[in-house]
Amino acid sequence: MMQIAGRHVLVTGGAGFIGSNLVDHLVANGARVRILDNLSTGTRANIEGALAGGAELQVGDVRSAADVAAAIDEVDIVMHLACSCLRVSLQRPRASHDVNAGGTLTVLEAAARAGVARFLYCSSSEAYGTAQMDVMAEDHLTQPTTVYGASKLAGEWYTLAYWRVHGLPVVIVRPFNTYGYREHVSGPSGEVIPKMTLRALAGQRPVILGDGRQTRDFTFVTDTVRGLLSAVECDALVGEIVNIASGSEVSIERVAELVCRACGSDCAPLYAPARPADVRRHRADVRKARGRLGFEPTVAIEEGIERYVAWFKEHHLDEIDRLLAHDKQRNWELAAPAGARGG
Ligand SMILES: NC(=O)c1ccc[n+]([C@@H]2O[C@H](COP(=O)([O-])OP(=O)(O)OC[C@H]3O[C@@H](n4cnc5c(N)ncnc54)[C@H](O)[C@@H]3O)[C@@H](O)[C@H]2O)c1
């Protein structure tokens, strides 16, 4: 087993939502951490605590071989999380390809050249596309519906090729929808639970894109981070792919209900047209993670949403108007008349 403590770990995308939570855990577990991030969606605020705890930030781009080579110097382990998000891929598909596929290849090239001891690629459940089976095991068909999903899948194949051709010891993790502390609230990176929380706390109706019966396997960020850490340490997973998720399915309508309850709001949701190529169902089979890593999801959706809403109130309550104004720029919530059901 590869121990994290005392190792020099490079986290790409470490100033982002999942990355910054991961970096906090790495620092707390005694790793020396360097973050490579271009701060496009990540922020220094996310990593203030980690920087104070000894982590190092290199502002740079995973598309730049020079930036990556400098960041990887003297590193033992690479955890590659930098990405351009799904919603950006709908408007700017090439950005997804360049960062998620091209950037991954650039980081792999540098990792192989540097001879790192472990390379973790953070993929995504979006690599599967819509569920063809009730639960999705790692050998489920991969038929992504978006350029984002396709670019994350390309990153997986490049990563496996570096294992097969160059013997780079790689592990691939497919997290399912993750939510929790520091998740993006507004703008193109904004996610459903923070957006609903923002509106519910402002006394507005939460917006559901589509009919609300689409499901996701929502995983609290502390569970996702524990999964990433166990996976990177596990020798038996080298050259393999593992799902990290809660293993349960919840509809977006139910999420809206839980968010409203946690916010003390009784507003009914507003329905807007579905996002193009939105996947219909996602529920992970987590038996491999359980068997190989002893991974157990610990935070149920009801508790996770309550924890998140409490955190949101502590960190964002005084900027609700600014965040709402930022989100309005997209105007998506006005795309359908109130009460209309999207397809
Ligand atoms: N959030 C989820 O629900 C979820 C689910 C499954 C998988 N993932 C994966 O987890 C990883 C982290 O996602 P997140 O939700 O924390 O997103 P995020 O946008 O918060 O994090 C991505 C980070 O990468 C940085 N970045 C973007 N382009 C870069 C570039 N060219 N060079 C260097 N840094 C760059 C951003 O500034 C940001 O800090 C991604 O690989 C994503 O595909 C996320």
Dump pLDDT digits (tens) for 290-300: 999 999 999 99
**Is residue 325 exposed (0-12), middle (13-18) or buried (19+ Cβ within 10 Å)?**
exposed
* Torsion sign across C-alpha atoms 321, 324, 329, 331: negative
271 is catalytic: no
Rounded to two decimals, the pTM is 0.95
How close is the Cα of 13 to the center of ligand 1, in Å? Answer: 6
Q: Which is catalytic among the residues 128, 148, 179, 308?
A: 148
| 302 pLDDT above the threshold of 60 | yes
| 188 pLDDT above the threshold of 90 | no
What is the total count of domains within the chain? 2
Q: Are 101 and 85 in contact (CB under 8 A)?
A: no
Same domain for 36 and 119?
yes
Same domain for 203 and 234?
no
The Cβ of residue 273 has, within 10 Å, a number of other Cβ atoms equal to 14
Question: For ligand 1, atom 18, which residue shows the shortest CA distance?
Answer: 16
Residues 6+ apart with CB under 8 A from 160: 170, 172, 239
How close is the Cα of 289 to the center of ligand 1, in Å? Answer: 22
| 135 pLDDT above the threshold of 60 | yes
Domain around 145: 8-178+220-244
Please choose, from the candidates 184, 186, 187, the residue with its C-alpha nearest in 3D space to the C-alpha of residue 202. 186
Same domain for 185 and 47?
no
In the prediction, which pLDDT does 277 show? 87
Same domain for 81 and 184?
no
In the prediction, which pLDDT does 337 show? 32
Query: Per-residue pLDDT averaged across 30-41, rounded?
Result: 97
Same domain for 49 and 17?
yes
Tokens standing for residue 136? 């999705």
Same domain for 127 and 71?
yes
Helix axes 252-263, 301-316, angle to 10 degrees: 50
Pocket lining for ligand 1, CB < 6 angstroms: 12-13, 15-19, 36-42, 61-63, 81-85, 99, 103, 122, 124-125, 152, 175, 177-178, 189
Q: For position 171, which CATH number holds?
A: 3.40.50.720
How close is the Cα of 180 to the center of ligand 1, in Å? Answer: 14
Mean pLDDT score across all residues of the chain: 93
Same domain for 183 and 268?
yes
Atom index in ligand 1 nearest the CA of residue 183 equals: 20
Question: For ligand 1, atom 41, which residue shows the shortest CA distance?
Answer: 81
Q: For position 186, which CATH number holds?
A: 3.90.25.10
**Residue 285 in domain:** no
Same domain for 44 and 68?
yes
Residue owning tokens 């596990």: 234
**Is residue 160 exposed (0-12), middle (13-18) or buried (19+ Cβ within 10 Å)?**
middle
Residue owning tokens 């930030």: 57
Same domain for 111 and 187?
no
**Residue 21 in domain:** yes
**Residue 82 in domain:** yes
